[in-house]
Amino acid sequence: MARPLRPWSALLLTLALALPAVEDPATATLPLRAALHEDATLEAPLTQLVETWRAAERLPDLLALYRTHLSRYPQDAGATVVLIRLLHATRDPAATTAVRQALVDFPQSAYLHWLAFLVLDETHDAGALDQLALAVTLETVAWRRDQWTERLITEAVKGGRRDLAERHLAAAAAQEATAGGKLVIAKRQAQAGLHQAALATITNALAGDPAPELLVDLEVEAAASEAALKQAAAAATRLDALLQRLGPDHWRRAEITRRRLELAGSDEERSAMIAAARARLAANPGDDAAALDLARLLLALDRRRDALTVLTAATT
């Protein structure tokens, strides 16, 4: 028996006919899967792939699609990576077993070791960090290796594995040939609290006669490590020597002056630094550099009025 027409029946029918037919996600996502076939590590295609199949309420079918493919082509490393990423993205507990097997099948894949870290870390597996270390060691793409290294240092320090960070960074410093690269590594060593190692890395970089601006960066970082090692006198001497080399208008002179003042251990020492700066200015009244240095010292001590007096006198 037919139901009587309602007042809105015609409108409902019109709207239904206007809706586009829902495309099969297997067909709709062919370009996405093709992109992942070319590069299984891409982020955007995988995210869209999951969203499309989830919207169609067919995520299990997507996983089955890749599992079927791998049953036929078990040596397809790219498809293996995609399947594990899908399992991880959908919070499928099978991800752990899958990634462990993948490491057996493809032990030299840096990205699979990275995935192993992500999967195992979520289950608080003690071996997660070792997988990240292997990923960094095996990775050949510089930007990705740098990102993973940052994560490794952070996680190693947080997890009480400073020894792992130390070994990894020491090996990286030994392999790095450029002063700029050594500076990056030294900063990571300092970040991990490995100030003695950072100082050794910087000393090695300074021996290579780096470019002037890079030399400034290295000396400042070296002084910071010395200060962290309670070697305030050595750090102060280093910064004093650096200030003597820099011109009065160098863009980092104010910062370095502030750092030097922070190394002063007492009010007496700070007063002595100001007295020495006043004496240099008194000996050379027209020396703009001497006036600027004194003003910067006063500003670092928040003595703004005194600094203004010095600068005003220098301009008259």
Quote helix, strand, coil % in the chain, to nearest 5: 75, 0, 25
Residue 166's pLDDT band (cuts 50, 70, 90): very high
Q: What is the mean pLDDT of the chain?
A: 90
Q: Rounded to an integer, what distance in angstroms lies between the CA atom of residue 166 and that of residue 157?
A: 10
Query: Model confidence over 279-312: pLDDT tens digits?
Result: 988 888 888 888 888 888 888 888 999 889 888 8
Q: Rounded to an integer, what distance in angstroms lies between the CA atom of residue 260 and that of residue 117?
A: 42
pLDDT (0 to 100) of residue 3? 44
Residue with tokens 């309420």: 57
Query: Model confidence over 120-151: pLDDT tens digits?
Result: 999 999 899 999 999 999 999 989 998 999 99
Residue with tokens 């309670």: 230
Q: Rounded to an integer, what distance in angstroms lies between the CA atom of residue 203 and that of residue 72?
A: 56
- Which has the higher per-residue pLDDT, 19 or 292? 292
Q: Rounded to an integer, what distance in angstroms lies between the CA atom of residue 174 and that of residue 217?
A: 20
Contacts 24+ apart (CB under 8 A), 282-288: 288/248, 288/314
Residue 314's pLDDT band (cuts 50, 70, 90): confident
Residue 7's pLDDT band (cuts 50, 70, 90): low
pLDDT (0 to 100) of residue 274? 87
Is residue 77 within 8 Å of 106, Cβ to Cβ? yes
- Which has the higher per-residue pLDDT, 133 or 6? 133
Q: What are phi and psi of 196, to 5 degrees?
A: -65, -40
pLDDT at 79 over 90: yes
pLDDT (0 to 100) of residue 17? 37
Share of the chain above pLDDT 70, in %: 93
Q: Which residues are within 8 A (CB) of 70 and not within 5 positions of it... i.e. 6 or more apart?
A: 76, 79, 80, 83
Q: CA 49 from chain center: how many Å?
A: 28
pLDDT (0 to 100) of residue 16? 36
pLDDT (0 to 100) of residue 270? 86
Residue type, 123: T
- 0.85 cut: is pTM over it? no
Neighbours of 238 (CB within 10 A): 20
Mean pLDDT along residues 80-104: 97
Share of the chain above pLDDT 90, in %: 69
pLDDT (0 to 100) of residue 266? 82
pLDDT at 21 over 80: no
pLDDT at 71 over 60: yes
